Amino acid sequence: MELDLKPIELAGIEKKRPMIIAGPCSAETEEQVMDTATMLANKGIKIFRAGIWKPRTKPGGFEGIGVDGLAWLKRVKQETGMYVATEVATAKHVYECLKAGIDVLWIGARTTANPFAVQEIADALKGVDIPILIKNPVNPDLELWIGAFERINNAGLKQLGAIHRGFSSYDKKIYRNLPQWHIPIELRRRIPELPIFCDPSHIGGKRELVAPLCQQAMDLGFDGLIVESHCNPDCAWSDAAQQVTPDVLDYILNLLVIRKETQTTENLGELRNQIDDCDNEIIEVLAKRMRVCREIGTFKKEHDMTILQTGRYNEILDKRGAQGSLCGMDSEFIKKVFEAIHEESVRQQMEIINK
């Protein structure tokens, strides 16, 4: 399905990369919200985030301040002039936020994973025209993520944006949520006009990773950043380890290198021609390899041999992996390429055998 989108329009916000949303993981007290918001506004931040309802993995923790916090966000709007954004997970959250004049809503990762919840939110949003950002589902399922955009878009909302916050994994050695950059990259390929925000705080789970993740997102051409920032991060009631002070955030943003997405240089054009030539050769060689494979298929058919010859397959993977590594490529990458080639060869031989 084609999405019917329009750019996010917030008066007074420049249309230049990156669009920044910043604020604490959770609204905790009126004082913490106002202090953080004032500091961020002084650093030129224009969109303030704060969670009012917090989805927590286990019960018993701080589950958000609830509706009372919306009045604090209203105060932020009035006193700092910033736009305010918060997470919604149910129709009731949507109604409360609309009543309070919240400018931007986002759907959290656990909610995106649940089509019933997304549909309920979409129904509650009918007739409303504000920016809605959708975090990736906790599981690395691009179709589920796109499905959520379709549901909200079907309800008539056109100012949509994606938030890449990483994907749950048992392995938390480096990241809290694995970035799996290829998923937002594929989202960009599928829906080029959809702005993508990176959430380095929830991907990294720790302060030190915020700056490098922001830079990576910019290098990939993402449009915005949503970063958790707290006036006193160590004392935060949720996600303390990943929040940075407004000062540190400002420092990180000032150091970002924003590269242009478009290129005008002729040199690059020439290099791109060389890439096209290489790709053409790859296709021709692959087609030749498949022709040989089909001949082998005919031979196997005539001699009643199985298609899969595991010994030979392992030999190819190991040999090519080592060879690739000698040529300066990652051996695991080469193995993946040959796994894919082998899969297609097997498919072609199956066709011959079953003819």
What residues between 124 and 143 interact with ligand PEP by CB under 6 A?
135
The β-bridge relationship of strands 132-135 and 104-107 is: parallel
Beta-bridge mates of residue 13: none
When asked if residue 108 is in the footprint of ligand PEP (CB under 6 A), the reply is yes
Contact pattern from residue 179 through residue 218 relative to ligand PEP, giving x for each residue in contact according to CB under 6 A and a dash for the rest? -----------------------x----------------
Contacts of 306 (CB under 8 A, 6+ apart): 300
Token pair in block for residue 63: 């589950």
Which residue, 200 or 246, is less far from ligand PEP as judged by CB?
200
CB-CB contact of 14 with 220 (8 Å): no
When asked if residue 20 is in the footprint of ligand PEP (CB under 6 A), the reply is no
**Helix%, strand%, coil% for the chain, nearest 5:** 50, 10, 35
Residues that bind Mn ion in the complex, under the rule CB under 5 A: 25, 239
Q: State which residue has the least CB distance to ligand PEP.
A: 108
**Binding-site partner at residue 93 among ligand PEP, Mn ion, none, CB < 5 to 8 Å by type:** none
Least spacing, CB of residue 108 vs ligand PEP, in Å: 3
Least spacing, CB of residue 109 vs ligand PEP, in Å: 4
Kindly list the distances between the CA atom of residue 83 and the CA atoms of 14, 74, 282, in Å, as whole numbers in the listed order. 13, 9, 50
Cis peptide before 184 (omega within 30 of 0): no
Least spacing, CB of residue 24 vs ligand PEP, in Å: 9
Least spacing, CB of residue 332 vs ligand PEP, in Å: 29
Question: What's the CA gap between 163 and 135, in Å, rounded?
Answer: 4
Considering only residues 7, 55, 81, 156, which one is a binding residue for ligand PEP as defined by CB under 6 A? 55
When asked if residue 230 is in the footprint of ligand PEP (CB under 6 A), the reply is no
What residues between 138 and 167 interact with ligand PEP by CB under 6 A?
165
Least spacing, CB of residue 130 vs Mn ion, in Å: 22
Question: What's the CA gap between 9 and 130, in Å, rounded?
Answer: 8
Which residue, 106 or 338, is less far from ligand PEP as judged by CB?
106
Return the ∠ at Cα 257 (arms to 253 and 263), rounded to 5°. 140
Least spacing, CB of residue 137 vs Mn ion, in Å: 16
Contacts of 138 (CB under 8 A, 6+ apart): 109, 110, 112, 113, 167, 168, 177
Which residue, 203 or 217, is less far from Mn ion as judged by CB?
203
Question: Binding residues for ligand PEP, per CB under 6 A?
Answer: 25, 51, 55, 108-109, 135, 165, 202
